[in-house]
Structure 1
Amino acid sequence: MFGPGSQFHRFFNDPRWALAVLRATVLEAAHPQIGAALIDNSTFVAHPWRRLRNTLVSLQRMFGADDETRQREAARLNRMHARLSGTDARNRAYDAMDPQVRAWVVATLFESSVTMCRLGGQPLDQTTMEQLYAEFQAFLAALGDQAGHLPPTLREFWQYYDHMVETELENTQALRIILYKLFDHLPAPPVLDGLPTVWAVGRAFAGPAIGTITVASLPEPFRRRAGLPEVPGAQTLMQGAYMAAGLARFLPEGWIRAEDFTSLLYLSPDSDDPRAATITALRDRMTRAGALFRLVTPFPVQTGPAEEAGARRSAEGAGARRSAEGAGARRSAEEFFDAVLDQTGDGYLDWPDLAAMARELSSRLDLDEPEETRLYDAYAEWWRELQAALDIDGDGRVSREEYAAAVPALAGPALIRVAEVLFEVTDTDGNQSIDADEYRALFRTGFRRTVAGTEESYSRGAFLTDFLSFMSGRRRSTAYDPLLAEA
């Protein structure tokens, strides 16, 4: 059911899989409970590339050959989902651990995989389709869900799927953001940060096309119920996109790997990855090309209210951040709020924003219990401290204006505790210093700190000072910006 011999493993590095995952995400967001959970808790608006990478890494762990890795990832996902519950704008409860909701997530991935093959001109035969369905049932079972939340047979599955599409899905706010706002204002991935003109030109053409392709691929009954527009030529464009992506199967094996793609998205100039020098040289050439393009044809970079933070991050640029750190440059309070604190991109600071920070740090370090809970608890205490100090109007959240007006000194006892816990869970060998491997686990970049002696290390005091300087002094950092501020 899992590993290199599975049907799913064949799809994971298929370029059409990107279109399939996007389609599945839209169908998930159309479920009222999932849509509400995404709006309240997800970082997909402010940090879409981070969300993409984490999703791919999680799927790779769950469908890999190593059973211990799969069990660890399943436990991590269950802990994460157990923290996601609440009510939507219509006062309807949502719970990410609802077994029917979890079954729908798996159902969208399976059905979008089948649709991907059909639209790409390679429809699955019945035997292969049944094998793939069994693998996704095993995926749900690996999460600990009992049998029965997905129909037992493939024939019953299509009845279940049609019922969900025709009666349960809605035109949710999360769906509208993905289709009509996210693509229009998608921030540049970290590897292209600092190239706003080049990215804006590409996004202006690709964004609307991707949105049109995604809508055209959705089930017709749902498009009709949700009132999604029928764009002339959309079906032809959609078929062409899937067929063109499918041609990649003729490339030599190993040329296209999802893992390599996602690692390139996050490749930093400071990384000790051999590809970093090539990427840096390419960025320099693209920067010069972008400057020339602006001289010839000025191109306005589009921004929207919820995406201004992402646009500002792209405009700053990686090179500017590196020189800024050396000069001790500071962000304004508003910039720091948008880039770092408002992780969900809704214009407010509340618990889901700090929980998103804890979730990202826990995922990077692959924490188990009780370390993960210790980190979440430290962030929860910091949220209570911030709320008491900054929530002037008592609405349970902190607005950008409240934060900027207070200009607070954030290095209180609770934030210091966050820094201490983060150091302790990063220092896996407990020697009171962070070595190169531990550093890379957290920051995904090379270790650039050299101290007296023959070995590199990052002391507890230096780590706490740097973290608190970033979080309270609002100083830019080549380590913490990619970790908490970039998309």
Structure 2
Amino acid sequence: MSDTPRMPDDLERFPGAGSLSWRYLGQWRLLTTIGRAIVLETAHPVVGAGVVEFSTYRRHPWRRVEQTLLSLQRLLYQDRADREREAARLRRLHGHINGVDPDGRTYSALDPEAQAWVHLTVFDALVLMCELGGDPLDDERQAELYAEWLLVGLQLGVPASEMPGTVPEFRVWFDEIVREKLVAGHGVEQLLDALGRLPAPAQLSFVPEAVWSAGCAVLGTAIRTAVATTLPPDYRERLGERGRVPFGARTVVSLACRTAAVASDLLPTKWVYMPLAATYIAAKREAGRGLRRFGPRDRSGDPATQLADLFVRILDQTGDGVLSWPDLAALARVFSDRLDLAAVDEEVMYAAFHAWWDELRATVDANGDGVVDADEYRVLAEAAPGAAMAALMVRVAAAVDRDGDGRIDQADYARLLGPDSVDTHRIGWLHAMDADGDGVVTVEEFAEALRESVLGRARSDTLEYVLGRA
């Protein structure tokens, strides 16, 4: 194995939109090879011992597949804070899986080698998915995907020293474990039996149980055969009769995988990817539209027109054509109501808006009539933000950050937008505020995005959604 250290700082380079991991992991066609990964995981003696004692296969045969796919999506596609929560949840969950196997050997789901094996069998499944689909990854793309997957492993807490550093090293390690450590134990038997039992979905509850059972017998055999076809030959022999592949099965599986690959190239994202992955992929695209900056080289909008539109639809809440304290008081009320602020925090919010109003009158009310019209407000677009305005935006952002951890996560943001907001849009708009692209929206970044929007230098879907609807 490589001795190259991989420190937690590497997580700053966590694979995001545009990475190979994002492209491949969430595709529905991973179902063609995820069975191989789960069987090989369970064949490891440590994992198999935990499966025998803690498994729910007999009662809920497909729960492991469903939970594995969901957890993988959470680990890869969600924002950094949510990824960290999912990784912590998995560590807590696995911390409860330990004991003594029938041969008297102690086991723990947190065993370092077992953790690395479970994690890296997914990389193996992704590579095989592409190979069987007719779009194999060349050496360069395999190396790129593997480097990404190591970072996901670090996020999970897999020790760097347990994960081979390169794809060639991984292949040697993988083959060695298959050859010398994997067993065809009771855990694998339970898993293969479970793959043949398909629970009837609620939509088909009208189908007689005998008919459904007969259909499952045929389909279950086909699924087990398809999974066996994807297993390494050495391990398939170890399975004996359960690993036998009938004549023609490889051709059928190859055809199915290629069909799935073609469909993935032709169908829209929402059908190609599993729900959580599809939501976040769409959200990243939405993020490009969620905060649109108007710079000298960006002709997507005219700053003057944008500022006039902002003034009429967002700032002039009373609709009298000018900006006055009642307008800003209305904005303070909207934020306070949406964030459900306590009385003392609401007073602070109103005070911050009033300080900005005093600053506006002192700096842009050129004729001294006590109100600010659109022409006077336009001066702000070319000026540096005043101290009161900058402080106000930080105050609003800090109020959104309910737990005070210095970052705005989806729960914080959803509280501001309300439960009726569309998930994809909400995630996309939040991502648009991530100025440095590190997967975390800090209070400062959120405040800057609001400030740039109020100055007419960018268009914020957040402000339009919250204040344009007020």
- Structure 1 length-normalised TM: 0.51
Question: How far did 1:115 drift?
Answer: 1.0
Gaps of 5+ in 1: 264-427, 429-435, 438-487
Q: Distance in 2 between matches of 1:194 and 1:133?
A: 46
Question: How far did 1:105 drift?
Answer: 0.5
Aligned counterpart in structure 2 of residue 159 of structure 1, from 152, 172, 179: 172
The amino acid of 1:20's aligned partner reads: T
1:43 aligns with 2:56: yes
Alignment of 1:96-107 (within 5 A): 96-107=109-120
Alignment of 1:395-474 (within 5 A): none
Deviations 1:158-189 (A, max 9, x none): 1000101111101011212222x213333224
Deviations 1:226-255 (A, max 9, x none): 322242222222222212222212333224
Aligned counterpart in structure 2 of residue 11 of structure 1, from 24, 27, 30: 24
Question: How far did 1:41 drift?
Answer: 1.0
Q: Distance in 2 between matches of 1:127 and 1:191?
A: 45
1:214 aligns to what? 227
Q: Report the secondary structure of 1:236's partner residue.
A: helix
Question: How far did 1:260 drift?
Answer: 3.8
Deviations 1:438-471 (A, max 9, x none): xxxxxxxxxxxxxxxxxxxxxxxxxxxxxxxxxx
Q: 1:224 to 1:152 in 2, by over 3 A?
A: same
2:325 aligns to what? none
Q: Distance in 2 between matches of 1:187 and 1:260?
A: 20
1:192 aligns to what? 204
Preserved contact between residue 61 and residue 197 of structure 2 (Cα < 8 Å): no
Preserved contact between residue 62 and residue 139 of structure 1 (Cα < 8 Å): yes
The amino acid of 2:119's aligned partner reads: V
Alignment of 1:215-294 (within 5 A): 215-227=228-240, 228-260=243-275
The amino acid of 2:51's aligned partner reads: L
Q: Report the secondary structure of 1:86's partner residue.
A: strand
Deviations 1:373-399 (A, max 9, x none): xxxxxxxxxxxxxxxxxxxxxxxxxxx
Q: Distance in 2 between matches of 1:33 and 1:191?
A: 38
Q: Report the secondary structure of 1:152's partner residue.
A: coil
The amino acid of 1:246's aligned partner reads: A
Identity of aligned residues (%): 37
Alignment of 1:41-440 (within 5 A): 41-179=54-192, 181-195=193-207, 196=209, 199-227=212-240, 228-260=243-275
Q: Report the secondary structure of 1:45's partner residue.
A: coil
Question: How far did 1:50 drift?
Answer: 3.5
Preserved contact between residue 26 and residue 73 of structure 2 (Cα < 8 Å): no
Q: Distance in 1 between matches of 2:69 and 2:201?
A: 15
Q: Distance in 2 between matches of 1:44 and 1:258?
A: 26
Deviations 1:411-440 (A, max 9, x none): xxxxxxxxxxxxxxxxx9xxxxxxx98xxx
Q: 1:169 to 1:50 in 2, by over 3 A?
A: closer
Preserved contact between residue 196 and residue 219 of structure 2 (Cα < 8 Å): no
Gaps of 5+ in 2: 1-13, 279-410, 412-417, 420-470
Question: How far did 1:43 drift?
Answer: 1.8
Preserved contact between residue 33 and residue 230 of structure 2 (Cα < 8 Å): no
Q: 1:44 to 1:5 in 2, by over 3 A?
A: farther
Deviations 1:313-349 (A, max 9, x none): xxxxxxxxxxxxxxxxxxxxxxxxxxxxxxxxxxxxx
Instruction: Report the number of matched residues.
Output: 266
Q: Distance in 2 between matches of 1:31 and 1:190?
A: 35
Q: Distance in 2 between matches of 1:109 and 1:12?
A: 9
Q: Report the secondary structure of 1:240's partner residue.
A: helix
Preserved contact between residue 49 and residue 189 of structure 1 (Cα < 8 Å): no
Q: Distance in 2 between matches of 1:149 and 1:191?
A: 45
Q: Report the secondary structure of 2:271's partner residue.
A: coil
Q: Report the secondary structure of 1:241's partner residue.
A: helix
Q: 1:116 to 1:257 in 2, by over 3 A?
A: closer
Q: Distance in 2 between matches of 1:105 and 1:190?
A: 32
Preserved contact between residue 14 and residue 246 of structure 1 (Cα < 8 Å): no
Q: Distance in 1 between matches of 2:129 and 2:157?
A: 28
Question: How far did 1:224 drift?
Answer: 1.9
Preserved contact between residue 35 and residue 174 of structure 1 (Cα < 8 Å): yes
Question: How far did 1:15 drift?
Answer: 3.0
Q: Distance in 1 between matches of 2:266 and 2:211?
A: 27
Preserved contact between residue 13 and residue 256 of structure 1 (Cα < 8 Å): no
Q: Distance in 2 between matches of 1:191 and 1:88?
A: 40
Q: Report the secondary structure of 1:27's partner residue.
A: helix
Q: 1:213 to 1:11 in 2, by over 3 A?
A: same
The amino acid of 1:192's aligned partner reads: L
Q: Distance in 1 between matches of 2:236 and 2:206?
A: 37
Question: How far did 1:201 drift?
Answer: 4.8
Q: Report the secondary structure of 2:150's partner residue.
A: helix
Q: Distance in 2 between matches of 1:177 and 1:49?
A: 12
Q: Distance in 1 between matches of 2:135 and 2:177?
A: 26
Q: Report the secondary structure of 2:107's partner residue.
A: strand
Q: Distance in 1 between matches of 2:239 and 2:195?
A: 19
Q: Distance in 1 between matches of 2:201 and 2:155?
A: 32
Q: 1:191 to 1:142 in 2, by over 3 A?
A: farther
The amino acid of 2:121's aligned partner reads: T
Q: Distance in 2 between matches of 1:115 and 1:53?
A: 20
Preserved contact between residue 98 and residue 106 of structure 2 (Cα < 8 Å): yes
Q: Distance in 1 between matches of 2:90 and 2:195?
A: 27
Q: 1:191 to 1:30 in 2, by over 3 A?
A: farther
Structure 1 vs Structure 2 CA RMSD: 2.6
Q: Distance in 2 between matches of 1:54 and 1:224?
A: 29
The amino acid of 2:49's aligned partner reads: A
- Structure 2 length-normalised TM: 0.53
